[in-house]
Amino acid sequence: MHTTALVLFSGGQDSTTCLAHALQRYERVETMAFDYGQRHRVELQARLKVLEEIRARFPAWAPKLDQDHVLDLAVLGEVSETSLTRDTAFKMEASGLPNTFVPGRNLLFLTLAAAVAYRRGLEVIVTGVCETDFSGYPDCRDDTMKAMQLALSLGMDKRFLIETPLMWIDKADTWRMAHSLGGQALVDLIIEHTHTCYLGDREHRHAWGYGCGTCPACALRERGFALFSESIKTPS
Ligand code: ZN
């Protein structure tokens, strides 16, 4: 029976839902993020606000929420040229992957997460990767996660579990999961404080939260929220 977890927590909708999942399930939960020169610092600020709000508004979860770790990964900007770290427009590459794809990024994240989990005595690594996502990042696939779990467990001689609560669900189900974990209070927190927009827009407020409303991340979040809202109005 696992009781401790490290959540890869970026401050977006997905990782906030994963954090709630972990806080519901485990006794001690720590969070981790990477600073790699994201085009917008908004994301790193959003995550601190989300942590603060969870501590203030969820008394059952607050005592379980332990340390937060932010690792400087500026080196990622040196080895890759992508629209997440450079000022270039979003587009699809000839490979069929969007130019937001940073080769090896999740592999690196998981390796560093496991090193922190090892040091902090945390058994489960929770990440919001998803195969049903529009982007089809190969390092978000279930097979990749299973291979990483094996590699990290063998390489550190410690049994790690990589947990992926969102792997097979879509964005509407991610909203539903948040609702079932933390009710409307968690849905409201996610709308108000999490950040998803690729353009870092915190000016335009929509029913589903802040964002430009047109980038792929906003479009996905908007569509999922619309489906989720429909389904809670007319329960089947
Ligand atoms: Zn956007």
In sequence order, the 6+-apart residues with CB closer than 8 A to the CB of 167 are: 129, 130, 131, 132, 142, 145
Could you tell me the distance, in angstroms and rounded to a whole number, from the CA of residue 3 to the centre of ligand 1? 36
Distance 219 CA to ligand 1 centre (A): 7
Distance 37 CA to ligand 1 centre (A): 18
**220 CA from centroid of ligand 1 (Å):** 10
| Ligand 1 centroid from CA 115, angstroms | 33
Sign of CA dihedral 68, 70, 209, 230: negative
The pLDDT confidence band at residue 9, using thresholds 50, 70 and 90, is very high
**Lowest mean pLDDT, pick from 37-41, 86-90, 160-164, 221-225:** 86-90
Q: What percent of the chain has pLDDT over 90?
A: 72
Q: 196 alpha carbon to ligand 1 midpoint, in Å?
A: 7
pLDDT digits (tens, 9 = 90+) for 84-113: 555 556 666 666 666 666 788 899 999 999
The 10s digit of each residue's pLDDT in 127-183 is: 999 988 656 788 889 999 999 999 999 999 999 999 999 999 999 999 999 999 999
Stretch 71-90: mean pLDDT: 70
Q: Is residue 214 pLDDT above 80, yes or no? A: yes
Q: How far is the CA of 208 from the centre of ligand 1 (A)?
A: 12
How far is the centre of ligand 1, averaged over its atoms, from the C-alpha of 5 (Å)? Answer: 30
Give pLDDT, residue 52.
Answer: 98
**What pLDDT is attached to residue 81?**
64
Does pLDDT of 212 surpass 70? yes
Question: Mean pLDDT of all residues in the chain?
Answer: 90
* C-beta atoms surrounding 155 within 10 Å: 11
Average the pLDDT over 110-132 and give the result. Answer: 96
Please tell me the distance between residue 89's alpha carbon and the centre of ligand 1 in angstroms.
13
Q: Which residue has the tokens 């404080």?
A: 193
- How far, in Å, CA of 82 to CA of 60, rounded? 40
Question: What's the gap in Å between 119 CA and the centre of ligand 1?
Answer: 37
Q: How far is the CA of 201 from the centre of ligand 1 (A)?
A: 6
Report how far ligand 1's centroid is from the alpha carbon of 207 (Å).
Answer: 14
In angstroms, what is the span from residue 102 Cα to ligand 1's centroid? 19
Task: Count CB neighbours of 74 within 10 A.
Answer: 11
Q: Is 29 helix (H, G, I), strand (E, B) or coil?
A: strand
CATH of domain 4-232: 3.40.50.620
